[in-house]
Structure 1
Amino acid sequence: MVNSNMRLLMSSSTNKFENFLLALIGLVLAFIFYVYFRSDSELYKVYDVAIESIELHSNPDIVAEGERLSRIRGCFWCHGQSLEGQQYFAKADRGLIVVAPNLTRKVIEYTPSEFARAVRHGVKRDGTSVQPAMPSFAFYNMSDADMGAIIAYIQSLPVQQGFEGEFRLMPIGWFRWVTGQFPPNAADLIDHAALRPDPSPNGGMVARGRYLAESICTECHGVNGRLRVPNSPDLAIAAAYSRDDFHRLMRTGVSLGERAIDYHMVDVSKYRYIEFRDDEIDALHTYFRSLVGLPPETAVK
């Protein structure tokens, strides 16, 4: 009788443990499915953004300007030396694989207007967002003329074999996405109805500088850009530079007093901003001085 009771007690305890274990496994599986489906649904959210017409001109001067603008805006950094695409981030412990797409193929697959929407609005042909690393929040401010020149340049290039674009979350990446450890979709960072700054040099130095700053510098220094480069200073700090010192910063990455600065600025100065014309650097300097109420230091030379 005692043995029988003991067996019943042990059996009951075993059943309770098994039930607890099954419930725990169920909760873990439910959590895994939740983070997967939430990250998947957010990544592949569809955006309703109208396509804007882009007028293209393929004369040699515009194609050459498109190449210069492509270098200033860093297309070659992420998409490869021939814009063939490249894998630029793949770490299992971070739960992420990122491959920048082959632009020499995308420019054929997309109409010019679709390509412009992908660049400036962060919305692909299928209505989903481009990769979070794409700084469309800055490129949104790019003018039709500049966007058209870049497209004309990429269209002029030979088609490369290259890579398909990919932004793939691995299991740990699902958790990091739903807990906000990755930047959101590029398309979520943009006010798609906002007015763009005036790009015309005829609008004055301040207006021209504002256009360049908002379509280029905000990639790192804007509110949205700080998702990518957290320690970027307020652009108004450039007002402390003399014209010559600011030109040196933009050409060489050497800061005022040669103090240490973020390597991003050093690199973009040497490899991207070297393509700026002197009048564009003057316009930027004038705009940054205007942010703190200072007049232009000198006229454009």
Structure 2
Amino acid sequence: MKSGRLLISILLGGVATGTLLVVALWIWSEVLITRTYPVRPEAASAGSPALAAEGRRLSKLYGCTSCHGADLQGKVYNPNPRLVRNYAPNLTLAAARYSDEQLAQAIRQGVRPSDGRALWGMPSQTLMHLTADELSTVLAFIRSHAPAGAPTPPESAGWRARAAVLAGALDEPRRVARARSRPAMDLGPELAAGRHTARTVCSECHGSDLAGDDLEGGPDLRVVGAYDAEAFTTLMRTGVPPGGRHLGIMTLVARSDFKVFSDAELAELYAYLSARATRLNEAD
């Protein structure tokens, strides 16, 4: 009888301890979710309306319209309640209340300019590399839209999202800081244009150093060394690699967004990535 009571006491104690731990982790995750970051000044201004068409193309390449919608009125892009029910905000409404500098702060720093809270899912670790002209062109595209539509609902974090927050995985300002410390290989001025494209487009899924990203699932782009220029161009325009297999998100993104790459951009990107692969292979 006494051993039975002892077992029950141990079990109840374990349940109570586990409950307290879960509550403590939930509270701490909420602290991390709601914390704020310093918002740094940004020198930015929207280009002329004549740049809106090119801004649309760049917004396609950078994935802006994939998340915020072709009309920029926002949409849900992760409906999984176990992770995070995440809505990309309505940019037409955001642009109506934010200055060009504030929009640049959101894009490049991954923070809400109004209060400094992290913007979940904003790929600022990639977009921080935009040149002043590229950012100005994207802002011209955003500014070409009059306010329309309804505000999107706020995100709602599930347990998996909170676990990711506790691990630092969904903290965009921290991801920006990590990306700065892990730059893509610099192979000199001759390959600088391709490196820039890799940093502003490819690094979102393949990591800031292009060596792969466990969170996003992109492999080390060293794999480009196995492609010739023609096969690489086919992959980037159709999402189909040699052998014809489906590459998941790469296939989908190539078909939806990468089709707007110019021939010159693809040639520059291939030149850089293939040279990077050669350099890495030589170092082994």
How far 1:28 sits from its partner (Å)?
5.1
- Residue 29 of structure 2 aligns with which residue? 39
- Residue 44 of structure 2 aligns with which residue? 54
Deviation digits for residues 129-177 of structure 1 (CA, Å, limit 9, x no counterpart): 101x22211111111111111111011013221333522224x357634
Unaligned 5+ segments in structure 1 are: 1-9, 198-202, 295-301
- Residue 220 of structure 1 aligns with which residue? 205
Give the counterpart of 1:84 among 57, 73, 83.
Answer: 73
Listed as ranges, the matches of 1:149-228 within 5 Å are 149-164=137-152, 166-170=154-158, 172-173=159-160, 176-177=163-164, 180=167, 183-191=169-177, 194=180, 205-222=190-207, 226-228=213-215
Listed as ranges, the matches of 1:13-162 within 5 Å are 27=17, 30-60=20-50, 62-92=51-81, 94=82, 96-125=84-113, 126-131=115-120, 133-162=121-150
Unaligned 5+ segments in structure 2 are: 280-284
- Residue 282 of structure 2 aligns with which residue? none
Q: Which amino acid aligns with 1:57?
A: G
Distance 1:165 1:281, change over 3 A: farther
Query: Contact between 1:39 and 1:174, CA under 8 Å: does it hold in 2?
Result: no
Q: What number of residue pairs does the alignment pair up?
A: 271
Q: Which amino acid aligns with 1:220?
A: C
Q: Which amino acid aligns with 2:116?
A: G
Paired with 1:128 and 1:73, the residues of 2 have a C-alpha distance of 22
TM-score, with structure 1 as normaliser? 0.78
Query: Contact between 1:82 and 1:160, CA under 8 Å: does it hold in 2?
Result: no
Radius of gyration: which is bigger?
1
Query: Contact between 2:223 and 2:277, CA under 8 Å: does it hold in 1?
Result: no
Q: Does 1:244 align with 2:234?
A: no
TM-score, with structure 2 as normaliser? 0.82
Indicate the SS of the match to 1:166: coil
Indicate the SS of the match to 1:99: strand
RMSD of aligned alpha carbons: 3.2
- Residue 216 of structure 2 aligns with which residue? 229
Query: Contact between 1:100 and 1:166, CA under 8 Å: does it hold in 2?
Result: no
Q: Which amino acid aligns with 1:185?
A: D
Indicate the SS of the match to 1:78: helix
Paired with 2:208 and 2:200, the residues of 1 have a C-alpha distance of 13
Distance 1:165 1:235, change over 3 A: farther
Query: Contact between 2:49 and 2:141, CA under 8 Å: does it hold in 1?
Result: no
Query: Contact between 1:118 and 1:130, CA under 8 Å: does it hold in 2?
Result: yes
